[in-house]
A and B are shown apart, each in its own frame.
Chain A
Amino acid sequence: MKAQDRRSFLKTAAAVGTAAVGMGTATAAAGPKNILSPDRMGVLVDTTVCVGCRNCEHACKTAHDLPTEPLSSYGDRSVFEQMRRPDDTALCVVNEYENPKNADLPYDVKVQCMHCDHPACLSACIVGAFSKEENGAVVWDTDKCIGCRYCMAACPFQIPAFEYHKALDPQIRKCDFCIERTTKGELPACVNICPVEALTYGPRDEVIRIAKQRIRTYGDRYVDHIYGEHEVGGTSWMYMAGRDFKDLGFPKLGQNTAPGVSEAIQHGIFAYFMPPVALYALLGAIMWMTKTRKEEGL
C-alpha cells in the first residue's frame, strides 16, 4: 500500500464509521408505539364468579367477524372435557377446573391475551407490528406484519395464533382488547355480555384496588395473589382465584419483564453502534499493519 493509498484508506474508514454512528442514532429512535400510560385500563377476571356460560366466547367472535355456532349451542358443557386454547378461530376461550372445596362449583377460567405492560410480542416483532396503546391494549397491525411468527415464539402466554392454512394474507390473530369498541366508549364485547359480572373493566389501578378489597373481605374465598399484577412486569388483564394459579393452567412466571434480558443484550451490542464501529476500526488497523509489515519485510 502506497502512502497515498494509506491516507485514502484511513479517510474512507473514518467515513464509514461516521455513517454507522449516524445510523445508530436513527435506530435508537425507531420503534413501535409503546405507551405505558398511568391511565391505562385493565380487566379483572374473577374465576370464582365465572359460571362457564361461554357467552363471552360468542360475543368475542361476533365482534370480530369470526364464524360461530348459534349462542344456544354454547350451553354444551362437554367442551370442558379438554383444555382449549385461544387460536385464530377463537380469540378467547373458557376452560373449567375442579374446585376442591366444592365439587358443584367448578372454577372457570377465561383465557385471552393478557395485554402485558411490557409485551414480549411487541419487543420481538421484526417490523414493530404490535403497539401498546394509551388505553393499555396491545394491538397488531396487518399492514406491517410479514408473518415470521417470532411473536408467537416470544409470548410467555402462548397467545398469538397464525392462520396456517391461508396461502395469501394469513393473519396473526389475538384478542385486541376490543380496541374498536373501547375507542367508541363501549365496553369490550366479552365484559359487556358477561351475565354474572365475572369481568370488571376499569382503570388498571382501580381494578387492582377492587381485587385487594375482595381478598380482604372474603379471605377464605380467594388465594392471596392477583395473577398479572406483577407477573412479567404487570399485565392489563388480571385474575383472582380460589386455588393455586398453577392448578388453573397459568404458567409460573417471575416478575421480570419478558423482553428484559433480550433487550439488554440488544442494546448492549448496539449502544450507539460503538461496539461494531470499534470492531471495524480494530480490524482496519490490523489489516493496515499486517499489510505494512509485509511490505517492509520485502
Chain B
Amino acid sequence: MHAHMKPAPMKGKFFTPGVIILTLIALNGLVFLAGRFFFGIGSVTNLNNQYPWGLWIAVDVAAGVALAAGGFTTAALGHVMHREEYHVILRPALLTAMLGYTFVATAVFIDIGRWYFIWHPLIMWNGSSALFEVGICVMIYMSVLYIEFLPMVTERFIGHVTLPGVLSRLNAPLDRLLRFLDRTLERSMFIFIIAGVVLSTLHQSSLGTLMVIAGSKMHPLWQTPVLPLLFLLSAISVGFPMVIFESMIASRAFKQKIEIDVLSRLGGLVAPILGIYLAFKLGDMFIRETFVYLQEFSVESVMWTLEVVLGIVIPLRMFLSRAVLKSPLLLFIASSLVILGVALNRINNFVVAYTPPYAFGSYFPSIGEISVTVGFIALLVLIYRVYVMIFPVISVPEGPATPQTKYAIRGKQ
C-alpha cells in the first residue's frame, strides 16, 4: 500500500479565485494596520484602560501559539520517538509552526505600544515575569524553527543556484555555502529538534501562567493555579488535529490524494490526550467547586460550556470511533472542533474571563481589530502557498522517473 512518498514543490498556477479573495482580505487588514501605526492603537481598537488586552492578544498571540503546536508535537513523535510512518507530515507541520510563530511575533509587534522597543526583553530581564519567559522562549523557538527549515532550502537549491546576470558569479560560492550548511545541519539537527520541544513545553505552559497574576480580575471558571498545565495539555491535544486539518486542506488545494492512512493513525493518538486534558479540566473544576457558576446563565457560563462540549467532549467521542477515523470528512470535522475548542479557550481566558473591577462597559473587538486579525490569517495562508510551491514540503508519490540521488544536479551551470 505504500507508494514511496517524497517531498516536492507543488506545481500549478499561483492565482486562483480563492487566492484573489484571500489577497483582498489581507489588503483590507493592512489598511487598518496602517491606521494603527499612524494614529495609535486607540484609533483602530476598542481597547482602553479597563480592557488592556483584546482580540489581538487572545487570537493572534495566544491562539496562534497554541495552534502552531503541531510543530513540536509531530517533532516529538517523528524525530524524538522515531516513528518513521509519520514522516510525510513532519515538513508541513514544521512549516505551519514556522509561519505560525512568525505570525505571532508580528502580532506582538503590532499590539505593543512601543513596537520599536520589541528587542528590549533580550537585554532587560525580569525573571519573575511570565510574559518575559514567554517572550524569550518564543524568540528562541522561532529561530530554532527557521534552522529546522533550512534543510528544505538546501535540498531545493543545491545544484540549482542560478542567479541571473552579474549575480551569476555568486552561484558557485552560494552552492558551496548550501552544501556546507547541509553537512553541518545533518549532524547537529537533533540538538535543535530537542531544544524545540523543550522550548515549546515551556512557553506553551507559561502562556497559561500569564493570567494567574490577574487574580480575582479573572472569572473563577478559568482562574486556577493549574492554568499552565491546562494550557500545555490543550496545546498538545490540538497539535495533531491541526496537522490533520491543514494537511487535508493542502491536499485539496493542490489536488493531491489525502493521506488518510497516516492521518487516521494520527487521529487515533488524539483521543487519549484530549481525555487527559478533559480530566484535568473537570478535576480542577470539582476541586475548586466552580461548577456553581454554571448554574447561572451568563456570557461566561455559556462560553465555558461551548468550549468544553463543542471543543472537547464531542470531538473526544468522535476520535474514539473507528468509523470517524476512517472517514476523511468526519475526521476533518472532529479535528476542526478541537481547533475551535482551543481557540475558544484562549479567547475565554484572555477576553471573556477578564472582568476589571471598574468597568464602564464591556469589550468587543472593533472592525479594525477583526480586519487586522482576519487579514493576517489570510496572509499566512498565502505565504504558506508560496512556500510549498517553492520548497519541497508536501510529499507526493514518487514517480518512476524521479532520480534516486539526493540532489538532481541540473545540466547547465
Q: Are A167 and B39 in contact (CB under 8 A)?
A: yes
- Smallest CB gap from A265: residue in B: B209
Asked whether any CB of chain A lies closer than 8 Å to the CB of B194, the reply is yes
Stretch at the interface among B25-33, B126-134, B161-169, B281-289: B126-134
**Taking the nearest CB of chain A, how far is it from the CB of B243, in angstroms?**
20
- Smallest CB gap from B356: residue in A: A158
Q: Are A266 and B358 in contact (CB under 8 A)?
A: no
Interface residues of B in 109-161 (CB under 8 A from A): 111-115, 117-118, 120-121, 124-133, 135
A144 CA to B131 CA, complexed, in Å: 15
- By a CB distance below 8 angstroms, the chain A residues around B79 are 287
- By a CB distance below 8 angstroms, the chain B residues around A276 are 198, 202
Stretch at the interface among B47-55, B267-275, B405-413: B47-55
Q: Are B126 and A12 in contact (CB under 8 A)?
A: no
Q: Are A27 and B52 in contact (CB under 8 A)?
A: no
A147 CA to B48 CA, complexed, in Å: 13
- By a CB distance below 8 angstroms, the chain A residues around B40 are 163-167, 170
- By a CB distance below 8 angstroms, the chain A residues around B190 are 9, 284, 287
Q: Are B81 and A170 in contact (CB under 8 A)?
A: no
Asked whether any CB of chain B lies closer than 8 Å to the CB of A79, the reply is no
Q: Are B209 and A262 in contact (CB under 8 A)?
A: yes
- Smallest CB gap from A34: residue in B: B128
A152 CA to B124 CA, complexed, in Å: 19
A251 CA to B215 CA, complexed, in Å: 12
Selected contact of A270 from candidates B38, B48, B111, B133, CB within 8 Å: B133
A290 CA to B187 CA, complexed, in Å: 17
- Smallest CB gap from B209: residue in A: A265
Selected contact of B357 from candidates A125, A129, A251, CB within 8 Å: A251
- Smallest CB gap from B196: residue in A: A283
Selected contact of A266 from candidates B125, B130, B214, CB within 8 Å: B130
- Smallest CB gap from B82: residue in A: A290
- Smallest CB gap from B211: residue in A: A153
Interface residues of A in 256-290 (CB under 8 A from B): 258-259, 261-263, 265-267, 269-270, 276, 279-280, 283-284, 286-287, 290
Asked whether any CB of chain B lies closer than 8 Å to the CB of A31, the reply is yes
Selected contact of A283 from candidates B80, B120, B131, CB within 8 Å: B80
**Taking the nearest CB of chain A, how far is it from the CB of B194, in angstroms?**
5
Given contacts A87-B49, A126-B129, A158-B50, contact A147 B112 (CB under 8 A): yes
Asked whether any CB of chain A lies closer than 8 Å to the CB of B201, the reply is yes
Q: Are B127 and A28 in contact (CB under 8 A)?
A: yes
- By a CB distance below 8 angstroms, the chain B residues around A30 are 125-127
Asked whether any CB of chain B lies closer than 8 Å to the CB of A294, the reply is yes
Asked whether any CB of chain A lies closer than 8 Å to the CB of B101, the reply is no
0/1 string, A233-253, CB within 8 A of B gives 1: 000000000000000010111
Q: Are A165 and B39 in contact (CB under 8 A)?
A: yes
- Smallest CB gap from B79: residue in A: A287
Interface residues of A in 199-244 (CB under 8 A from B): none
Q: Are B126 and A265 in contact (CB under 8 A)?
A: no
A87 CA to B360 CA, complexed, in Å: 13
Interface residues of A in 122-175 (CB under 8 A from B): 123-129, 144-150, 152-154, 156-158, 161-167, 169-170
0/1 string, B2-29, CB within 8 A of A gives 1: 0000000000000000000000000000
Using C-beta atoms within 8 Å of the partner chain, give the interface range for chain B: 35 or more
Q: Are A154 and B118 in contact (CB under 8 A)?
A: no
**Taking the nearest CB of chain B, how far is it from the CB of A263, in angstroms?**
5
Given contacts A31-B127, A286-B81, contact A161 B209 (CB under 8 A): no
A164 CA to B108 CA, complexed, in Å: 16
Asked whether any CB of chain A lies closer than 8 Å to the CB of B205, the reply is yes
Q: Are A32 and B131 in contact (CB under 8 A)?
A: no
Selected contact of B120 from candidates A8, A144, A270, CB within 8 Å: A144
- By a CB distance below 8 angstroms, the chain A residues around B216 are 156, 251-253
A54 CA to B364 CA, complexed, in Å: 34
**Taking the nearest CB of chain B, how far is it from the CB of A82, in angstroms?**
9
Asked whether any CB of chain B lies closer than 8 Å to the CB of A91, the reply is no
Given contacts A12-B188, A127-B132, contact A287 B125 (CB under 8 A): no
Selected contact of B111 from candidates A124, A144, A148, A249, CB within 8 Å: A148
Asked whether any CB of chain A lies closer than 8 Å to the CB of B42, the reply is yes
Asked whether any CB of chain A lies closer than 8 Å to the CB of B37, the reply is yes
- By a CB distance below 8 angstroms, the chain B residues around A152 are 49, 52
**Highest count of chain B CB atoms <10 Å: which of A127, A276, A280:** A127
Q: Are A156 and B215 in contact (CB under 8 A)?
A: yes
Q: Are B82 and A280 in contact (CB under 8 A)?
A: no
Asked whether any CB of chain B lies closer than 8 Å to the CB of A120, the reply is yes
Asked whether any CB of chain A lies closer than 8 Å to the CB of B206, the reply is yes
**Taking the nearest CB of chain B, how far is it from the CB of A127, in angstroms?**
4
Selected contact of B37 from candidates A167, A169, A263, CB within 8 Å: A167
**Taking the nearest CB of chain B, how far is it from the CB of A276, in angstroms?**
5
Selected contact of B126 from candidates A127, A249, A251, CB within 8 Å: A127
- By a CB distance below 8 angstroms, the chain A residues around B135 are 126
Residues of chain B touching chain A, judged by Cβ–Cβ distance below 8 Å, are 37-43, 45, 47-50, 52-53, 76, 79-82, 84, 108, 111-115, 117-118, 120-121, 124-133, 135, 187-188, 190-191, 193-195, 197-198, 201-202, 205-206, 209-217, 225, 228, 354, 356-358
CB-CB nearest 4 A-B residue pairs = A147-B113, A164-B42, A128-B126, A152-B52
A-B contact pairs, 23 of them (CB 8 A): A5-B187, A27-B125, A120-B215, A126-B129, A127-B126, A144-B120, A146-B117, A147-B113, A148-B131, A149-B53, A149-B113, A156-B215, A167-B39, A249-B358, A253-B216, A259-B128, A261-B215, A262-B209, A262-B212, A266-B129, A266-B209, A283-B194, A287-B82
Residues of chain A touching chain B, judged by Cβ–Cβ distance below 8 Å, are 5, 8-9, 12-13, 16, 27-28, 30-32, 83, 85, 87-88, 120, 123-129, 144-150, 152-154, 156-158, 161-167, 169-170, 249, 251-253, 258-259, 261-263, 265-267, 269-270, 276, 279-280, 283-284, 286-287, 290-291, 294
List 13 additional contacts besides A27-B125, A127-B121; criterion CB under 8 Å: A120-B213, A126-B120, A146-B113, A149-B52, A149-B112, A150-B131, A152-B52, A153-B354, A158-B49, A165-B42, A259-B128, A259-B213, A287-B190
